[in-house]
Chain A
């Protein structure tokens, strides 16, 4: 399968090379179409968001009001802070113009005049790369006033995040852009009604937008044939953990998880057995090593397997991994990153971490496991944003699938509740 987003073309990030390889042709084509027809094209392509929730992109665009006196905005989400996820970074580095072109087409389709790109603050180098591409696009009038001689004008601003995972959540991202604390907003109202500065706004992931020029160039029919029919296209799978060749692999949706690991990522380090796999970034439910045979990497298949495609960030753990330590580390992450706004997530994440730490210290009991599950259940579904769910899911799935890990490590003498040391942070050597 041909790579669409990250083709093997040297120096593609340079605008001249990009143009030589047919870059910005999709934009020209789109500018000749009616905006609604562009949305229709994307709708029919079945493109779904690559930011984690798999929401149909064309449908999302169609929520933007047509008749409005307010300015409309597009936020391109490059906050990319989910552990195990590093695909948007690759786009910034290797094919930034594809994303820029997609964002301009999206803006044209929705009648947006201003695009904000929100990039993870730690991506200092990639922010520079992106900015160079943006500047070049301005210089060639792909961005700016009356682009390419049309009546359409578009501005793109790049904003650097300040190190908070929560600012990748779309409404926290908007608050952050507005200069407020990165607190997710209560929904409804949804961004298309009441987004940035109270104006209609659409938020799309970087990779999602990078798919748009491809769809416009090749047409929806061609695109919708790639990979899994209900979730078509290629994905930038990011594989990390105990594999021989970690990295980003662009492959169609629906590829076998085992192919990803063994065929593309070079198999498990030292030929060990797999103990666990996180299939789509740290928020997704865990799979046992003996569950992964036949599992395909697309939204529907992974849902059927009791987990989710998420960001497509696959984390592989071999048989010698202290997975309880990993779970504790992940829980520490969510505790650390919870914005602290709503009660269950603010209080529950820290509590889960404390219970898990107790296990690492050899002081946990099986009662603690039941408590841990209860705490996770009490967070899930009861919070303002999905970070609460993201913190609960790994814990819930771990308890379901690896209860034996707890049993093995539970304190043998049953609980005589005694004063407990304050929990410490876990540091990982991986």
Chain B
């Protein structure tokens, strides 16, 4: 331990830490570009220069370990002057193209320029010109002129992704970031460099020029791309998801997420093939090239139809398929409904891609809630292999009705053939797929982007998702959405307020409606009620609440099969 003083504050701190670490822990902000808590210290930006008593020169807070008796000043005239000088240096060759730069609004350089800079430049020469619009890889675009050579992206590739693909070439103010000869920035985590980049040098080729950051709302949620469940932010404007960015959770994903999750887990939310309302099959019309054979109906009609059809079968003639894509709450109520009907034939599908995994984040299990499905309903007695039995019984004609939530078993042509034999087939689906083509009733369900709920990741960590996109029945202002400036201040006739809305409901609510149509008296007004019921009835969820799950989630109270250390350990 060391006793030190920072800006007059006396602190007792671990003497293995650096000044910047200690300061941040104690709420003293020292500006920094190149320093990042998970990357090696580069010490190149020099914006964190501070004064330490008895030291002849200013020192960089990121590389200076604290020692007993150290007296640090982070705002002395000398420090303020050096900081201003660094800002002035950084800006002399910078293009200052904030008005057309994606980073504006979340740019460290811009923020610090307002905070620590004089606002005038004494540089009146032509700036050094460097390449623009360099395609570093499939997902990342580079503007070399905006780069401040902090080397965060280089260090990330070397140290975290373990793919040394980036390098600097040339010297002095001609230094340029580039890829090694013959290399592309194409590793599975390449887009984290965009988040790390303190300026607009690295931008997302997917998101570029789609929106100014302040026009979007950002919602704390969880990626459904694999069983890791990386914590992330979902960015929305005009009810359209525009990008995903990782959100810090040291227990799950640290500061990172993979490119696959970032790019592929939101596009279907606003896709053309969304199911925009409940659908019922026209008598005897199967899907063909021009006609899905399904007609839009109101919720009441669709639910009444499902209830009356289900009533017409014996319990042994019905089977149910849970979903590892759906939340704990959805699956819990689904199993509850099946139990109510006496249905024993329940299964869920695993979606494993063997080999598509690594020891950073990516898991072979491509569903967010495998663990949860087994925990809230399908315990040891029934598992994925039950599905084969169900299919056999459908083929034999003993199972005649099937209820599927939020999965696409029909994607397998062999299975589709079997499913075509069913007398009654109801599915919850958010998008048209091979399964909806076969269904008699399609109940338009919300995507994970439109509902509250929880997923349980492979570690057994229960984590909340939150709605970022509204559906016909939800109102941003009323339903606890994260708001953008446009949400708050836009008028209803504003173009910002526009955007498509589906008449979709979360699966848990649809299930409640179906159960009640079947005579149950379920009183789940909100999904939180469902979760509280899980917590009250399921041992491993004991003591959990949405409040307690907060932003980082909680571990199940069972022996976790896969004990995973925090990824930075």
Q: Which residues of A contact B57 (CB under 8 A)?
A: 381-382
| Contact among A340, A354, A383 with B46 in the assembled complex (CB-CB below 8 Å) | A383
Task: Tell me, yes or no, whether B92 is within 8 Å of chain A by CB.
Answer: yes
Q: Which residues of B contact A378 (CB under 8 A)?
A: 82, 85, 88-89
Task: Tell me, yes or no, whether A337 is within 8 Å of chain B by CB.
Answer: yes
The reply to whether A420 and B124 contact each other, CB–CB distance below 8 Å, is yes
Interface residues of B in 281-322 (CB under 8 A from A): none
The reply to whether A342 and B44 contact each other, CB–CB distance below 8 Å, is yes
Which among B44, B167, B168, B175 has the highest number of chain A CB atoms within 10 Å? B44
Task: Tell me, yes or no, whether A423 is within 8 Å of chain B by CB.
Answer: yes
Q: Which residues of B contact A384 (CB under 8 A)?
A: 43-44
Q: Which residues of A contact B60 (CB under 8 A)?
A: 186
Task: Tell me, yes or no, whether B170 is within 8 Å of chain A by CB.
Answer: yes
Task: Tell me, yes or no, whether B41 is within 8 Å of chain A by CB.
Answer: yes
Known contacts A343-B89, A382-B46: A422-B172 contact under CB 8 Å: no
Q: Which residues of A contact B173 (CB under 8 A)?
A: 335, 338, 340, 346-347, 349-350
The reply to whether A423 and B46 contact each other, CB–CB distance below 8 Å, is no
1/0 contact trace for B163-183 toward A, CB 8 Å? Answer: 000011011111100000000
The reply to whether B123 and A351 contact each other, CB–CB distance below 8 Å, is yes
1/0 contact trace for A335-379 toward B, CB 8 Å? Answer: 111111111111111110010000000000000000100100010
Q: Which residues of A contact B113 (CB under 8 A)?
A: none
Task: Tell me, yes or no, whether A316 is within 8 Å of chain B by CB.
Answer: no
Task: Tell me, yes or no, whether A70 is within 8 Å of chain B by CB.
Answer: no
Q: Which residues of B contact A349 (CB under 8 A)?
A: 172-173
Q: Which residues of B contact A337 (CB under 8 A)?
A: 171-172
Q: Which residues of A contact B128 (CB under 8 A)?
A: 350
1/0 contact trace for B62-98 toward A, CB 8 Å? Answer: 0100000000000000000010011011101100000
Q: Which residues of B contact A382 (CB under 8 A)?
A: 46, 49, 57-58, 82, 85-86
Task: Tell me, yes or no, whether A243 is within 8 Å of chain B by CB.
Answer: no
The reply to whether A343 and B125 contact each other, CB–CB distance below 8 Å, is no
CB distance from B552 to the nearest CB of A (A): 33
Task: Tell me, yes or no, whether A417 is within 8 Å of chain B by CB.
Answer: yes
* Complex Cα gap A345–B45 (Å): 11
The reply to whether A371 and B122 contact each other, CB–CB distance below 8 Å, is yes
* Complex Cα gap A340–B89 (Å): 12
Known contacts A181-B167, A186-B41, A381-B57: A343-B175 contact under CB 8 Å: no
Q: Which residues of B contact A181 (CB under 8 A)?
A: 167-168
Task: Tell me, yes or no, whether B257 is within 8 Å of chain A by CB.
Answer: no
Task: Tell me, yes or no, whether B359 is within 8 Å of chain A by CB.
Answer: no
| Contact among A336, A347, A371, A383 with B90 in the assembled complex (CB-CB below 8 Å) | A347
* Complex Cα gap A429–B44 (Å): 36
Q: Count of chain B residues with Cβ under 8 Å from any Cβ of A?
A: 37
Chain A residue nearest in CB terms to B92: A347
The reply to whether B58 and A342 contact each other, CB–CB distance below 8 Å, is no
CB distance from A303 to the nearest CB of B (A): 15
Task: Tell me, yes or no, whether A119 is within 8 Å of chain B by CB.
Answer: no
Chain A residue nearest in CB terms to B172: A338
The reply to whether B89 and A341 contact each other, CB–CB distance below 8 Å, is no
Q: Which residues of B contact A112 (CB under 8 A)?
A: none
| Contact among B47, B58, B93 with A381 in the assembled complex (CB-CB below 8 Å) | B58
The reply to whether B172 and A340 contact each other, CB–CB distance below 8 Å, is yes
The reply to whether A344 and B125 contact each other, CB–CB distance below 8 Å, is no
The reply to whether A343 and B148 contact each other, CB–CB distance below 8 Å, is yes
The reply to whether B125 and A354 contact each other, CB–CB distance below 8 Å, is yes
1/0 contact trace for A227-267 toward B, CB 8 Å? Answer: 00000000000000000000000000000000000000000
Interface residues of A in 167-194 (CB under 8 A from B): 181, 186, 188
The reply to whether B43 and A186 contact each other, CB–CB distance below 8 Å, is yes
* Complex Cα gap A338–B85 (Å): 18
Q: Which residues of B contact A74 (CB under 8 A)?
A: none
Q: Which residues of A contact B125 (CB under 8 A)?
A: 351, 354, 420, 422-423
Task: Tell me, yes or no, whether B354 is within 8 Å of chain A by CB.
Answer: no
Task: Tell me, yes or no, whether B196 is within 8 Å of chain A by CB.
Answer: no
The reply to whether B171 and A164 contact each other, CB–CB distance below 8 Å, is yes
Q: Which residues of B contact A420 (CB under 8 A)?
A: 124-126
Q: Which residues of A contact B90 (CB under 8 A)?
A: 343, 347
1/0 contact trace for B201-222 toward A, CB 8 Å? Answer: 0000000000000000000000
The reply to whether B93 and A347 contact each other, CB–CB distance below 8 Å, is yes
| Contact among A336, A341, A350 with B149 in the assembled complex (CB-CB below 8 Å) | A341
Task: Tell me, yes or no, whether B42 is within 8 Å of chain A by CB.
Answer: yes
Q: Which residues of B contact A344 (CB under 8 A)?
A: 46, 85-86, 89
Interface residues of A in 129-185 (CB under 8 A from B): 164, 166, 181
Known contacts A342-B43, A420-B124: A336-B171 contact under CB 8 Å: yes
CB distance from B111 to the nearest CB of A (A): 17
CB distance from B92 to the nearest CB of A (A): 6
CB distance from B506 to the nearest CB of A (A): 51
Interface residues of B in 450-499 (CB under 8 A from A): none
The reply to whether B170 and A343 contact each other, CB–CB distance below 8 Å, is no
CB distance from B530 to the nearest CB of A (A): 54
The reply to whether A339 and B171 contact each other, CB–CB distance below 8 Å, is yes
The reply to whether B149 and A346 contact each other, CB–CB distance below 8 Å, is yes
* Complex Cα gap A335–B93 (Å): 14
Which among B58, B128, B172, B174 has the highest number of chain A CB atoms within 10 Å? B172
Q: Which residues of A contact B88 (CB under 8 A)?
A: 378
Chain B residue nearest in CB terms to A354: B125
Q: Which residues of B contact A345 (CB under 8 A)?
A: 172
Interface residues of B in 101-144 (CB under 8 A from A): 122-126, 128
Q: Which residues of A contact B151 (CB under 8 A)?
A: 341
Chain A residue nearest in CB terms to B174: A340
The reply to whether A336 and B41 contact each other, CB–CB distance below 8 Å, is no
* Complex Cα gap A378–B41 (Å): 22
Known contacts A335-B172, A336-B172, A420-B125: A343-B44 contact under CB 8 Å: yes
* Complex Cα gap A336–B171 (Å): 7
Q: Which residues of B contact A340 (CB under 8 A)?
A: 149, 168, 170-175
Q: Which residues of A contact B41 (CB under 8 A)?
A: 186
* Complex Cα gap A186–B18 (Å): 14
Q: Which residues of A contact B43 (CB under 8 A)?
A: 186, 342, 384
Chain A residue nearest in CB terms to B41: A186
* Complex Cα gap A181–B85 (Å): 27
* Complex Cα gap A374–B172 (Å): 19
* Complex Cα gap A336–B172 (Å): 6
Q: Which residues of A contact B92 (CB under 8 A)?
A: 347, 351
The reply to whether A346 and B82 contact each other, CB–CB distance below 8 Å, is no
* Complex Cα gap A348–B123 (Å): 11
Interface residues of A in 79-103 (CB under 8 A from B): none
* Complex Cα gap A98–B167 (Å): 40
Chain B residue nearest in CB terms to A349: B172
Contacts A338-B173, A350-B173, A384-B43 known; list 16 others, CB within 8 Å: A181-B167, A186-B60, A335-B172, A336-B171, A338-B171, A341-B44, A341-B149, A342-B43, A343-B90, A344-B86, A347-B90, A347-B92, A354-B125, A378-B88, A382-B49, A382-B82
Across the A-B interface, the 8 shortest Cβ-Cβ residue pairs: A340-B175, A378-B85, A186-B43, A347-B89, A338-B172, A350-B173, A381-B57, A354-B125
A-B contact pairs, 28 of them (CB 8 A): A166-B171, A181-B168, A186-B43, A188-B63, A337-B172, A338-B171, A338-B172, A338-B173, A339-B172, A340-B171, A340-B172, A342-B44, A347-B89, A347-B92, A347-B173, A350-B128, A351-B123, A354-B125, A371-B122, A381-B57, A382-B58, A382-B86, A383-B46, A420-B124, A420-B125, A420-B126, A422-B126, A423-B125
